Structure formats: structure tokens, C-alpha cells
Amino acid sequence: MVETSPRALVALTREPPKNEPLDALLTARSIPTVHLPCVARLDGPDLPDLPTALTSPPQGESWAWVVVTSPEAASIVVDAYVAAGRPSPPPRLAVVGDATGQVLAAAGLPVSFVPSVATGAVLVAELPPPPPPSVPGTPASPAAAVLYPASMRAGSGVADGLAARGYAVIRLNTYTTAPAVWGPEQVAAAAQVGVVSFASPSAVKAWGERRGGGPVNGTVIAACIGETSAAAARAAGFSRVMAAAKPGLHAWADVVEEAVGIMRGETVAAPGRGGGH
């Protein structure tokens, strides 16, 4: 059953668990939503290895960091932590984004580092440097070991960037995404929305495939978490695109609220926010 609110205006396109934080913020602002996930999670080849990896860092030391860059990765880390028997102390976590940290905190896992901007590149730049190797020119010390549970679709920027800073990174491809399957009810609900919230190019692509793209996309506003998704929305044929200036859950909710105001004729797009090509 599709979850709808009266006069639903905003489509939430993430998987249901990842939709919840944005939905809560929009509900608090009296903005009606409809849940229309565009992507579904599939297990990655390294997922079975994650519980053991959390408790078995190189050379028996603790991980310097476990890097978590999305709410989906956070939920996977939580499941692996529980499967490993909730070891104490918990892993030292560095995360990207408010929503990612909230998933971990809700499970009782404290977050030790959050970058000033919610991107992997800023995390790489701002994470405190590792201790140098005991002998110059030798491999990184165990205290520089980083575990990076990632999507198979994620690029190499985070792992390569941390390695360039002296960390020894072990990446596990724990999940991937595929387009979600829609039935007639979802297709009908999608035709009623005025604003679509996007957090990834893959969601933009899936929406376009299900709604037909082109002129159909031109009738709604794409409210994006950041410029990467916004660029994908423009390429997909959305003529009205808005993006948060600073990636993050609250800034994204602000953009969605502004887009809803535009659709209702209550506001105009703020300078520099977007709203067109």
C-alpha cells in the first residue's frame, strides 16, 4: 500500500527507512508526502564479511575509523554490529550527513566525527591525520586502519583520498541499488505530486523511466539534496530544479519547503537556489 497524505504534494524517493528523517521534518512543517521509492537495496558480495571485519581489524588493533557515508551504509553497519554481538567499545565512527549519524545514534552507536559539509570529499579533507609509521617509508601503522563499508556504486574518491593521507583503507562492497518496482498504484500517485525529492542520480533515472521523462518531468519541481542530483535532474528533462546549497538533511528539507511554496503560489525561488536550467 502506498503511504499517502491528503493532497500529497511531495514524493519521497528513497527506500522507506531512508525516507523517514526527511518525512519527519516535512510532517512537522505540515507538508504532505507520498512514499514512492525509486531504488531498492541489494546485498553486496562483501556483506557477510562485515560483522567479522568490525571485530577483527588488522594486527589485532582497533580500527582508527569506520567510515560511513550514507544512511543505507549506516543501517548495514548497525546490523553487522548487532550480528557481531555488540562488541565493546563500539567502533569509532566517522560519518557523512545528519541522517547517517541519526541511524547510528538510534542504535546506540556514538559518532566521533562529522565533516563540516556532508560530502565524502570534505570528510577526506577534514578527518584528523593518522599517526605516521614508526619507520618512514614503511606501511601505515595499525592505528591508521580504516574500514569503509560502501555501496558497489560508490566511486573510489573516499578510499583513494584517505589512502593518500596515510590511512590503510579496507573497503567492503556491502550493498548496491537497483530500480524499485512500481505497480499501478505507485504510477497513479506519482502523477499527482508537484515536488519530487531526490538524493541520488540513480533515483532521478528511475523516476524518469517510470514517469516517461521529457514533458512529464517539466510539470514538477525536482528538489535535490545537492548539485550532483540536481545535475542529473536537469539532464533527465526537469525544467524546474532546486538544490540545497549545503548538502544535509535540514537544508534539503528547506529546499523542499520552498519548492512546495512555489507550487502553491506562496513564494518564489530564492536567488541562487535554482528553479530552472
For strands 168-179 and 39-43, give the pairing: antiparallel
**What are 1-26's pLDDT values in tens digits?**
454 433 448 999 998 778 888 999 99
**Mean pLDDT, range 184-191, rounded to an integer:** 92
Decide which of 213 and 130 is more confident.
130
Residues 6+ apart with CB under 8 A from 149: 46, 50, 66, 68, 73, 76, 77, 80, 171, 172, 174
**What are 125-171's pLDDT values in tens digits?**
999 999 876 655 555 565 789 999 999 989 999 999 999 999 999 99
Per-residue model confidence (pLDDT) at position 137: 56
Q: How far is CA 83 from the centre of its chain?
A: 23
**What are 227-237's pLDDT values in tens digits?**
889 999 999 98
The 145-151 sheet, strands edge to edge = 39-43, 168-179, 145-151, 65-68, 93-95, 111-113
Q: Is 251 left (phi over 0), alpha (psi -120 to 50) or beta?
A: alpha
In this prediction, what percent of the chain has a pLDDT beyond 70? 86
Distance CA 47, CA 54 (A): 12
Provide the whole-model pTM.
0.73
Per-residue model confidence (pLDDT) at position 271: 47
Residue 121: pLDDT band (50, 70, 90) is: very high
Decide which of 214 and 224 is more confident.
224
Decide which of 256 and 4 is more confident.
256
**What are 196-211's pLDDT values in tens digits?**
999 988 899 999 888 8
Q: Give yes or no for residue 277 having a pLDDT over 90.
A: no
In this prediction, what percent of the chain has a pLDDT beyond 90? 61
Average pLDDT score, the chain? 87
Q: 16-28 and 249-263 are packed helices; what angle lies between their axes, rounded to 10 degrees?
A: 60
